Amino acid sequence: MPTNNASRVLHRKPGSMPEAVIRASGLRVWTGDGREYLDAVSGGAAVSCLGHGNCEVEDAIRRQLAEVSFYHTSFFTSEPAERLAEALIDGAPQGLSRVLFCSGGSEAVEAALKLARQYWVERGELSRSRIISRRQSYHGATLGALSVGGNVKRREIYAPMLFEAHFIGPCYEYRLREAGETSEDYGRRAAAELETAILELGPENVAAFICEPVVGATLGAVPAAPGYLRAIREICDRYGVLLILDEIMCGIGRTGWRYACAQDGVSPDLLTVAKGLGGGFQPIGAVLVGDRIEMALMEGSGELKHGFTYMAHPAACAAGLAVQCYLRDHDLPAAARSRGDELRAALSDALREHPHVGEIRGRGLFLGIELVSDRESKAPFDPRHRVFARFKQAAMERGLLTYPGGGCVDGERGDHVLLAPALTITSQEVAELVERLCLALGDLPFAQFGRARI
């Protein structure tokens, strides 16, 4: 292994050399410096939903590579692609009937945006090209996906290169529900912003609305308020706007439901998944596509005007299929519900009185903790202290891997910690996770961090 500047890899912090991960098994991860970690965030980004290492998935990949490693989809389909599509549609929200495969989350969002546009072109409604999204969201790093993403920091330097999307506010009950307002009233009020935006742009110009049912990295596991997504669906239907739900982080069982939006009783026109789809064993993403979109393509030009070389890669689909079978056979969405309840209860018990824990939120094994300088006023910390980054380091010192983020309040202020352990986590590991997390919080000199104005 090269050291520091000898590395030819352009690392996330150029010029520095991160520690190498050398072994991982279940929820344990070992690095080259001899350290062992408990992985509370599934491979760092809510990916490894089965934990690290799985004989069934590994065998499926090996068998597929021995049979056919690759052939381009403009010539042939493959058995794993067909079977995985079947498995994803079985039990999917109503109306979703076909699957387009790709290699990751950003590609899935790109494909969903382009499918939305092609749908309207096939229908002869050429003016429908505008996309409405939400502030404080993330939909991927490619320029199209970034254009519809509301994560201020991730957009910042690319802003001049992005296409113009229209943004409404997030559904963020902890900070935006008013005193005296019920959760349901707040959900309706937040959804009404979509109607205002559609009318402002002109419904004849709007192609689609995109949102995460449970906002992941940007807000830290913030679920839609009760009734919000239903109201969003109704508004989309009223104006003929397509609804794209991005379940790249929250989907595939993580929230306790195979598809997160099922808990809200809502079916989108397009649904994106990735991360837990391949469980980190292979890079794979997918868009689940609604009947009416497929119908419009068939009755119109008869071809998909979008494609990637590696779409429906046989080894990636074989991995995805084995992961989905394992999830089903071990009923891991149910495990996400019960272990999620345990984790949430243990966190609440341990942190109920903590002066800097503003809220513990989320669904299933997709939980967020918002850190505040003052619980009463919900004032965030002074962002110059980057409390989220300090926490990440403190947790690593205590042998715990988490996904903290900054800017949940407004893109600049606000600190949260995202927890998304493998759905195979045991009760003992839940207890260990909470113990290490509390130790890490105890190591932070909160009094030094100051308060940001709200």
Q: Which is nearer to ligand PLP, 280 or 372 (CB)?
A: 280
Q: Which is nearer to ligand PLP, 135 or 292 (CB)?
A: 135
CA nearest 104: which of 251, 259, 311, 245?
Answer: 311
Q: Kindly indicate which of the ranges 59-67, 124-132, 211-219, 230-238 contains the residues binding ligand PLP, using the contact rule CB under 6 A.
A: 211-219
Nearest residue to ligand PLP on Cβ basis = 105
Between the CA of residue 122 and those of 57, 114, 208, 301, what are the distances in Å?
A: 39, 12, 15, 7
Q: Quote the strand ranges of 213-323, DSSP E.
A: 214-215, 222-223, 242-246, 270-273, 285-290
Query: What's the min distance (Å) between Cβ of 58 and ligand PLP?
Result: 21
Residue 248 binding ligand PLP, by CB under 6 A: yes
Binding track, positions 266-305, relative to ligand PLP; x by CB under 6 A? --------x-------------------------------
Angle between helices 79-89 and 314-329 (to 10 degrees): 40
Between the CA of residue 151 and those of 25, 79, 155, 302, 406, what are the distances in Å?
A: 33, 38, 6, 36, 10
Residues near ligand PLP (CB under 6 A), total: 16
Q: Kindly indicate which of the ranges 52-60, 137-145, 172-180, 389-397 contains the residues binding ligand PLP, using the contact rule CB under 6 A.
A: 137-145
Between the CA of residue 55 and those of 70, 98, 316, 341, what are the distances in Å?
A: 22, 29, 16, 28
**Residues between 315 and 354 with contacts to ligand PLP, criterion CB under 6 A:** none
Between the CA of residue 310 and those of 62, 70, 74, 114, 285, what are the distances in Å?
A: 18, 8, 11, 17, 11
Q: Which is nearer to ligand PLP, 148 or 434 (CB)?
A: 148
CA distance 303 to 320: 26
Report the greatest alpha carbon distance in the chain.
64
Q: Which is nearer to ligand PLP, 105 or 279 (CB)?
A: 105
Q: Kindly indicate which of the ranges 16-24, 134-142, 157-165, 382-390 contains the residues binding ligand PLP, using the contact rule CB under 6 A.
A: 134-142
Among positions 37, 101, 119, 138, the unique one binding ligand PLP when judged by CB under 6 A: 138
Residue 261 binding ligand PLP, by CB under 6 A: no
Residue 212 binding ligand PLP, by CB under 6 A: yes
CB atoms within 10 A of CB 438: 16
Beta strands 166-168 and 403-406: pairing type? Answer: unpaired
Q: Kindly indicate which of the ranges 210-218, 222-230, 319-327, 365-373 contains the residues binding ligand PLP, using the contact rule CB under 6 A.
A: 210-218
Query: What's the min distance (Å) between Cβ of 242 and ligand PLP?
Result: 17
Query: What's the min distance (Å) between Cβ of 268 and ligand PLP?
Result: 14
List the structure tokens of 174. 């902890």
- Residue 452 · residue 385 · CB < 8 Å: no
Among positions 51, 93, 216, 223, the unique one binding ligand PLP when judged by CB under 6 A: 216
Residue 140 binding ligand PLP, by CB under 6 A: yes
Among positions 26, 80, 104, 358, the unique one binding ligand PLP when judged by CB under 6 A: 104
Phi, psi dihedral angles at 132 (to 5 degrees) = -105, 135
Give the interface with ligand PLP as residue ranges (CB under 6 A): 45, 104-106, 109, 138-141, 212, 216-217, 246, 248-249, 274
